[in-house]
Structure 1
Amino acid sequence: MEWEQINISEDFVPGTTLKGPDEQSYHIVVSDGEILCIEQQHPWRPLNQDEWRWCGLEPLASHYLGHIGSKAIFAEEVDSDAEEPQGYIFDTLWSFLTSVDQPIFYLIGRAKQLVEWHKHHKYCGACGAITSTEPTDRSRKCDACSISFYPRLSPSIIVLVYRDEEILLAKNAATRANFYSTLAGFVEPGESIEETVHREVFEEVGVKVKNLRYFSSQSWPFPNSLMLGFHAEYDSGEITIQEEEIADAKWFHYSDLPNKPAMMSISGWLIADHIKRLEG
């Protein structure tokens, strides 16, 4: 099966251990957080086995991601100072956000996150001893004190707050982009997801919400988030922004929204779903 014929959502089967020889394979090459691309190849595709073998890059580590049909697919970790082979170019993960289909973006994000996890967990954070890859799951284990280290995953919430036909949107203080988005934040230890929604909304914009409704989730590899999306109805309070986090926050009528997030993000999905419900 050629790459162009593949449906990642249906054909990709994730795995942690390669159980047989990989006579044919795909390779996602990662260097210093960037992804190797074949020049003039649009849309992007991973390297096939021959391209990987002859591109001249030496892997520091190879990570089995799973199978696509009969072909294994790997994330290849190469030196952060590796030079681009002739005919290839490294590009940031952000560049793939709107240039490839969503399932492929998730696959590339998976490769990048696993490479970075492996890179940062070669040694035990408790005793400093070398860790080794476990054969049965996606983890590394300290050979000295037996602590296991799993890929980093940071659960977070993202919530659309509404009041009648208005939507509360905010501009992040840390971004240069001129767009407004839904509110988001990371889960604190000991919190439920619902408690996080209430806390984050009140901390960032000073209002209280009610009638939380779970919407959907999204893997968001910037850097290692799992976004859990909610709709929440306004309850009380006036907007008071947390200036360290929020540059501006306002109520907008759903028919007159400012620049908003792309539909590749769960924030865009939340907004589109709410408008659909209002107009339906």
Structure 2
Amino acid sequence: MKYHTAPGDPLPHCAVFSVTTLTRRFPEPATVPAGALWVLVSGQGVAIRDGDIPQIYAESGPSPAVPVTGPVEYLGHRGTTPCYAAELPEDIPLPEGRVIVGVRELYGRIPDEDVAIAAFAVRMIASAKASRFCGRCGTKTVPVLTERAKRCPACGLVVYPRISPAIIVLITRGEECLLARSPRFPNGMHSVIAGFVEPGETLEHAVHREVKEEVGLVVKNIRYFASEPWPFPDSLMIGFIAEYAAGEIEIDNNEIVSAGWFGRDALPPLPAPMSISRALIDRWVERGNLRH
């Protein structure tokens, strides 16, 4: 388990998708070494060897029976062993004994470290596919072996994997917290306010703007909580806790379809435990329990 704890805070956040068990060694190998581990990617999932203890790694990579038509991406070293991601073609049978499982569905079935690597593999394959051609001149890009990037051999543009910063904030008012529903959520589920940071904004400005836009409230005393690389598809979630300052709830009926104040003993269905949104709510609940 990988924990991130603010100074003086005994209640940690487990950043499930933080890749801490791979070390990046640059320059990366010019060719894939023998004995490398592979994560075989298909869409938003990976091909696992199913069983009592599912396994995301393949000790032999793509072969004539499992050809690769898409990118191959160096992920890093797992101990002394290099690890790669490759995309499986959609129109061929899976390797024997393997099934495709979405990254979210892997949570709780395999160690968090492997969930993070599976998500990272999916993310890097998607990034490679999105940067195959230069956005400035259209030339096919080539890998940069000395860092995680692609370079245009014609105009020299260097493209790095996209990271989209987003704020996520728990708002408290006395012994209540604000929870809201997005139209994308499963039936009944509520969560905290979140949104992407816009160009020219600070993180704090983004908190104020998103809260005002989505639920019409003014907040104060914004405090950093923790962060989480959220690979759906490329967010970095930066978590905060804030206090209600003024205003009445006015939902935007776009990002939010309902919102309300909830006490600790009357919470609605919540996000999955793997999420930073759930970590924010759990932290607030547990902090309240510590006072009693």
Fold conserved between structures, TM > 0.5: yes
Structure 1 146/96 Cα, relative in aligned 2: closer, same or farther at 3 Å?
Answer: same
Give the superposition deviation at 1:177.
4.0
1:12/1:68 contact within 8 Å kept: yes
Per-residue Cα deviation, 1:157-186 (whole angstroms, up to 9, x for no partner):
110000000010011112334311111000
1:158 aligns with 168
The 5-angstrom pairing of residues 105-116 of structure 1 reads 105-116=115-126
Could you tell me how far apart the structure 2 residues matched to 1:26 and 1:61 are?
16
The answer to whether residue 47 in structure 2 is matched with residue 36 in structure 1 is yes
2:262 aligns with 252
* 3-state SS in 2 of match to 1:22: coil
Higher helix residue share: 1
Out of 88, 94, 117, the residue aligned to residue 84 of structure 1 is 94
Could you tell me how far apart the structure 2 residues matched to 1:133 and 1:118 are?
9
1:102/1:264 contact within 8 Å kept: no
Higher strand residue share: 1
Give the superposition deviation at 1:46.
1.0
The 5-angstrom pairing of residues 134-149 of structure 1 reads 134-149=144-159
1:22 aligns with 33
1:232 aligns with 242
1:122 aligns with 132
The share of aligned pairs that are identical, in percent, is 36
Per-residue Cα deviation, 1:100-155 (whole angstroms, up to 9, x for no partner):
33222221111111111111211112221111111211111112221111111110
Give the superposition deviation at 1:255.
2.0
* 3-state SS in 2 of match to 1:12: coil
Equivalent residues, number: 271
Could you tell me how far apart the structure 1 residues matched to 2:244 and 2:20 are?
39
Scaled by the length of structure 1, the TM-score of the pair is: 0.90
Give the superposition deviation at 1:238.
0.5
Q: Which of 1 and 2 has higher RCO (CA within 8 Å, sep 6+)? A: 2
Could you tell me how far apart the structure 2 residues matched to 1:9 and 1:203 are?
33
Could you tell me how far apart the structure 2 residues matched to 1:16 and 1:178 are?
47
Could you tell me which amino acid in structure 2 is paired with residue 97 of structure 1?
A: Y
Scaled by the length of structure 2, the TM-score of the pair is: 0.86
1:30/1:36 contact within 8 Å kept: yes
Could you tell me how far apart the structure 2 residues matched to 1:79 and 1:259 are?
38
Structure 1 11/197 Cα, relative in aligned 2: closer, same or farther at 3 Å?
Answer: closer
The 5-angstrom pairing of residues 59-98 of structure 1 reads 59=68, 60-98=70-108
Could you tell me how far apart the structure 2 residues matched to 1:10 and 1:198 are?
32
Could you tell me how far apart the structure 2 residues matched to 1:15 and 1:185 are?
34
Please tell me the root mean square deviation across aligned C-alpha atoms, in Å: 2.1
Give the superposition deviation at 1:11.
4.5
Which sections of structure 2, spanning at least 5 residues, go unmatched?
Answer: 1-17
Could you tell me how far apart the structure 1 residues matched to 2:19 and 2:228 are?
14
168-177 or 195-204, which deviates more: 168-177
176-185 or 82-91, which deviates more: 82-91
Could you tell me which amino acid in structure 2 is paired with residue 57 of structure 1?
A: V
Give the superposition deviation at 1:237.
0.4
1:17/1:64 contact within 8 Å kept: no
